[in-house]
Every structure is written in structure tokens, then in C-alpha cells.
A and B are shown apart, each in its own frame.
Chain A
């Protein structure tokens, strides 16, 4: 939304290009050093999670019987090996890949459900809103861990289900945030104008409400991803996560914690990777919030 210059002052020869809110946000983000560094680290992490496993001479599921619990820098293992002699670097990289994938996919699931649900509830309002939000309240009361355990026990463990299960729980907060935003948006003049122009409700939701929600939603998604990664780690720690020989950072930390006196590197390596990943997401999320919503500063 740019304000049109006053007609009398219009100078066509030297037009000042207007700055959109998005440009402002981008500039503020660039000025926030922590957020920029976090963004750079994230790009780097995603890159090495994708490429890294191909560069390590060991497969993540390759058992080396003579290298059981070998220390870092021995037997060709840069970061040591676990109690099956599997290379810890290769496993950490694959774990990183799985954790990022779970984080992103589950957050997208939460995003889709949450935005659709919250926007409809907020825009339609009245009894429908009342009913939809009470349902959210009820689901909030459902213990997350029981929900996931019931899903896993009934349908067996698989990665897709894990994505869906976590996403299906994380959308609740998203729905609340979106509903609140929609409530304030729907009284705005441009919505009334659209309605007066005869646009249908779905069209208004899609074309006018949704784009104006982008700010808070992006912020919330960046903060959801680390929550989801932690949730997956928690489930893996409890033995409900991914199946052997595939691994995730949470599974690696859990295994490492059982061996930490004998082989501290099996705990330290994945724990550091997880800490860096989570901090990067959180710093970036904070930065985005500050950049997009200047009122919050």
C-alpha cells in the first residue's frame, strides 16, 4: 500500500520510486545482524544437509564392525563412530536432513490448516466462529503426546505420519493468530469496498484477507519450525520417532545420552548440531517479527 503523492506536487521527470512495506521489512531484516547471520547459517545448514551425506566416505547405515565407538579422528571417522561403528558425521548429516524436513513439512501442514481454518472462522464470525474456536479449545486440551502415540500405535510408525501428526497439532495456535488478524481486517475499508463490489466470500478470503495475513503468519511459521523439530526430537527421544537405520537429531541425542560416559562424542556432535539449528531458526524468527511488525519493537 503506497500513498499516492499529492497531484499538485507530481514531478514526472524525477519520480521517486515508492518503497513498499515489504521493502521496509527487508531493509530492517538486513540491518539486524543476528537475524542475517542466522539466515546465512540456515542456508548453509540446509546446503550441507542436502549435499554433505554424498561427501562423507561412509554411508549413514554402514556398519563397520572394527570401528565400534571409535573416537573422533580415528579409523577415518572425522567425528567418531557409534556402537555399531557407523560414522557419526554421516549420521548427523542425515539426522539434520530428517529434522529439517520434519520441521518444514510439519510447519507447512500447520500453515495450510491453520490459515484456512482461522481465516474462515474470523471472517464468517458469529455462531460458526464460536463453534470452530470451541473445537480448537477442545483440541488444545488433548495431550499432544497421547495423540501422537495413539496415531503411531494404530497406524504403525512412518515418517509421513510423523509429519502429519505433528502438523495436525501445531495448527491450533496458527488458527487463533489468523482468526484474530482476520477479525481486525474484516472491518477495514478495503474489505467493505470489495464486498460492496459484489465479491463472493471465498474470493475476499483468498484475494484480500490471505495476502494481508502474510506478515504474522511468516513470523509464526519461522517460530513453529524449531518447535516442531523439538517435538520430533522429543518423540524420537521416547523411541517414537523415525525407524532404524534412518535417524534424526533427536534420536542421535537420545542414543548419545545413553553412552555419554563411554563415548561423549556420540552426544556432543548431534547436540551441537541441534543447538545451532534451533538457535538459527529462533534468531531468524525474532528478526522477522521485528522487521515485519514495527509496532513490536
Chain B
């Protein structure tokens, strides 16, 4: 899943500064938004304005944040990020793990129309409809017929999603997938109200037209200012929802957002600057508000293996060895990131993260010496130094790349750094317009496969290093048909070890969420999925405030 970049944030600041000079039209910094008396309001930052709130067209975490308050999918997550029933009260799979049946609860859309199985059939068809052009259609290719439908080779109604009756959805897969209910929490398969979408077309997402089945309604959306959500009285657990109003403010500058949080303008500030963690955790600052649990996401290095120098495995291993992950995570990304040597992050469900290789515990000078040996074996040395270009997207701290560059220079490797706007960066990589790159992958669902699938030879564009190993592919296929979770994990772990030994990709460090949460907020549970719907939250002084109001 994509993450909004600092550049996009920066552009917003620039625009804002420009407008400010002329009309002073930007949202004034400072001051908490007034809340109607007797009501409880929750003010939160979002990295930027969502591009859209139409589920199949979303691809960023900023969109998922808002959607998690508006729509509830077949399955859902609880406050701790664990899988829980959503619109489906219960579900079961056939003994071969292919056919899944979901029993829907009786629930209403916010306009009073019942939520039916037909809405879900419509949602999945819309996702795979080539006309929707969803970036994420591929994620559900494991549904029978999805790939053919999405590429326009088969009609929409051949998709393996059926309504058996108004309250039963049946989904047929191409292979067993025990993690399928996990995948259904993804924001691109949140249900859309068929009767509204068919009436308004793509503009159904506008405030006033948007019909929700979740705890909140889309009240208003002012670009560059805020998105306001109000409690949905028809939500099936409306009596459990604490806050009456949720506001999301696009906060382009993380440091000023953090200062406004400290001033009490916000109850929640997401994605504060990693380098500021050290300061914020000081006892005289706001240590109780800082939340940095690990997240299912990886920062890793990938190479264009079609050409020298990175067609040579020794060169890739040498660069991996001479990257001082401990220094980077200690000095730069000091929020609690951990060095990683395997691709699947620690904490992934039913999986043991890969152990560090032997050289990881060597003193750094010894690693440098070993890397130098590998390089000279590959034909690079003082007379023929290794030179290449390292690309990375804005959003990765440039100092990380600078630290790597400095260590490499000490063994005679000269990297020139190129930071790119993420949209450009993630266009260059699939067409292999790079030599080496630092990329980020955020899990789409809590299973090792969301990472390991990237290295499958048939993945195409997103297999940036074109890893192609029949043995690896065979192991993944074998895992797809292994019903036992433990045995499946063992097969996947073997596959991962195989891929990591080739250093086709080089994991650098695991990521952490970086949230500032007002200590008076209750119901916030740090979790690895970084999923925090606002309906689970309340304030410790809520009762008193209501009485006073």
C-alpha cells in the first residue's frame, strides 16, 4: 500500500505559502476547532487530502484511514487489529479451502436501505471491472475468474462471487488461501451501495451523496482544510460509538502538526518525523503520547539484475554487508525501527522472521573488509571502482541514503544519490529504469505472502529485481496448496531463505508506526496493522464533558 510522501506534503506547504501571501486563505495555524456543546469531537491529522474515497480507486494509507470510519467490509478488525466479524457475522470455507461462504448480519445503509449480498457482488465486480481501472485489482486475482474479468477476456458475471440469498455471499477461489478473511479487510473491497452508485455514477462519493454502512457519515470535505465525519445513527453498533464528530486535517508539515498537537489542537497526530522521536520521548516533553509499535512494512534495497554491476550476486552481497543498518536505525530513524535481514517483517501472522546472517554480528570493519574481498573477486577495486546510481523516493529520509553512501565510499564504491517524487519513482522501477533503489513495501494483508509474492517470477512489474527462480516459484505454489498453517509457514520460510541468499533484494530495516495520541484518549491499542478506526476510541473525561455540556 502506498504511503504519502514528504514531497507531496512539501508541495502543499508551497501552495499554502503562496496563497497565504496573497489572500491569507490557508487554514490558520493554532486553535482547536470549536465543538458543539454536549458533543464529543475528535480532531486528527492526516498526511494529506485523499485522492478519492471511492474504495476500488484508493491506494494510499491516507484514504484507508478515513474509509475505516465510513465503511465496514465483510470482515473487520478490532481495536487491537485482530480479525473480527464485520458485515459478515460468520464465515466458513469448504474442506478444500476453495469455496467461502459469508453470512451477513442485518444492517442498513445510512439512507435506510438494507445492506445485501448483492451489494458485495456489485463491489467485487466493480473492483475487477476494467472500466474502474483499479490499481489493486490484482490483489484479488485469487478469486476465480478475476484475472480474466479484469483483463476484459470474460464478462463481469463470470466472477466467482455470488449472492446465494440476500444475506449469504459465496466466493470461489482458485486455490486455498487461509488468509483470505484477512485480505477482505483491505480498503479496496469495502462495500459500495449499489443503488447509490448506479444513480450518481462515480460522483457518489461527494458529501451529501455518500451513503455509508459504518459508524460515521461523510458530512463535509473542504480541500486543504478538513474532512468532517458525523456519527451514523443507523450503524449496527451505534450505541457503542463514543465521538459524535471526527475531523481529519491534511497536515502537510509534520513538525508544525506535531507542535499543534502539543498545543492541544489535535487528539491524534499520525506520522510524526522519525528523527523527532528522541526529543518527544524526553521526560519534559510528551513521552506518554508517543506510540511507535512495529508495523508490517519493510524498507529494502532492490537492484536491476539485468546489467552489470548488479547482475553479479557478489556485488549485491557486498553492498548488503557494508550497509550499517544499526547506525541508521540508531542515529537516524530513531523511532524504534529494527535492522532486518529477511523480507517478511517480524510479527507477521503464523510466521517466524528470518534470522540475521552470521556476518551481521561481526564488527563493522570486518564486514567492510569482507565486502571489499567480494568486490575485488567480482573485478572491482582501486583501479576499477564500482560506480552506480541509487534512486530512492522522497519520503525516505535522505540522510539514510547519505549514510549508506558514506560507508560504501570507504570501500571504494561510489554511489550517486537520486531522490525522486514517489509517483515517478514507482513508475521507473516497474520499467527497470534504475540501477539500485531503496523502496518501501507495506503489507496489504497480514500474511507472509504479501511480501513473498513480490519475488514470484510471474509477478511482473513489482518484482523490481526480476527474481526468477523455479525452485522458489515451486515452493510458493506448494504453500498455496498446503492446508496446515505450520507446514505452510515452513515451506514459505524455506522460500524466503532461498531468495535472501541470492541478495536479489536486500532488506534494510523494519518500519514502525509513528503516532502521537493524547493520553486522555482511551481505547487506543498499538498494533502491527496500524489500523485504528475512531469508533473504538473515547476520552477518559467523556462522561464529565457530556454532563457539563
Contact = CB atoms under 8 A, between A and B. Distances in A.
B134 interface: no
Nearest to B11: A149
Nearest to B410: A63
Interface residues of B, number: 34
A149 B11 CA distance: 8
A84 interface: yes
Interface stretch (A9-17, A108-116, A191-199, A235-243): A235-243
Interface string B385-420: 000000000100011011101110000000001111
A84 B279 contact: no
Contacts of B421: 152-153
Interface string B418-429: 111101100000
Chain A interface mostly: loop
Interface string B366-401: 000000000000000000000000000010001101
Interface string A222-259: 00000000000010001110011100000000000111
Nearest to A145: B14
Interface stretch (B270-278, B293-301, B507-515): B270-278
A156 interface: yes
B11 A83 contact: no
Contact of A63 (B15, B403, B417, B418): B403
A276 interface: no
A237 to B, nearest CB: 8
A156 B418 contact: yes
Interface stretch (B70-78, B174-182, B234-242, B324-332): B324-332
Given A65-B327, A145-B15, A157-B419, A262 B255 contact: no
Chain B interface secondary structure, helix, strand, loop or mixed?
helix
A261 interface: yes
B275 A153 contact: no
A83 B402 contact: no
Contacts of A245: 402, 405-406, 417
B13 interface: yes
Contact of A244 (B14, B279, B419): B419
Interface of B: 6-7, 10-11, 13-15, 18, 255, 273, 275-276, 278-279, 324, 327, 331-332, 394, 398-399, 401-403, 405-407, 417-421, 423-424
Interface of A: 61-63, 65, 68, 83-85, 143, 145, 149, 152-153, 156-157, 234, 238-240, 243-245, 257-259, 261-262
Given A245-B405, A258-B255, 19 more contacts: A61-B402, A61-B405, A63-B402, A63-B407, A65-B331, A145-B15, A152-B421, A153-B423, A156-B418, A157-B418, A234-B14, A238-B11, A239-B419, A240-B10, A243-B398, A244-B402, A244-B405, A261-B279, A262-B279
22 contacts: A61-B402, A61-B405, A63-B403, A63-B406, A63-B407, A65-B324, A65-B327, A65-B331, A83-B331, A143-B18, A153-B423, A153-B424, A238-B10, A238-B14, A239-B6, A239-B10, A243-B417, A244-B401, A244-B405, A244-B419, A257-B255, A262-B278
